[in-house]
Amino acid sequence: MEQEELPLCSCRERHQGHICVLRGKGMASRIKELSCNPNVACFICGEEADSEDDVCSPAPLFV
């Protein structure tokens, strides 16, 4: 069975600051700063953030 490929981030130069990358680097305190009042989630990985600039594929959170 082939593994399904996930969409990739298209922003390239800003990707290193996205929450998914920070989580991989173990930067929990920085992630906490970027997600204290989340209003977007990444459509790819589900990470929540305060700003759409901090995730690869932002989708609005509806409360």
Tell me the residue range of the domain where 32 lies.
13-60
Q: 1 lies in a domain? A: no
Residue 33 is given by DSSP the state H
Provide the token pair at 34. Answer: 């970027």
Which helix (H) or strand (E) segment is 59 a member of? Answer: strand 58-60
Higher-pLDDT residue of 61, 9: 61
Task: Give the pLDDT of residue 19.
Answer: 92
Kindly state whether residue 25 falls inside one of the protein's structural domains: yes
pLDDT in tens, 32-56: 999 999 999 999 899 999 999 999 9
pLDDT in tens, 4-31: 555 567 776 677 889 988 999 999 999 9
Paired sense of beta strands 58-60 and 48-49, if any = unpaired
Asked if residue 7 belongs to a domain, the reply is no
Q: Is 12 helix (H, G, I), strand (E, B) or coil?
A: helix
Tell me what pLDDT residue 47 has: 94
Q: Tell me whether residue 33 is in a domain.
A: yes
Q: Considering its fold, how many domains does the chain have in total?
A: 1
Give domain status of residue 27, yes or no.
yes
Say what the pLDDT of residue 63 is. 63
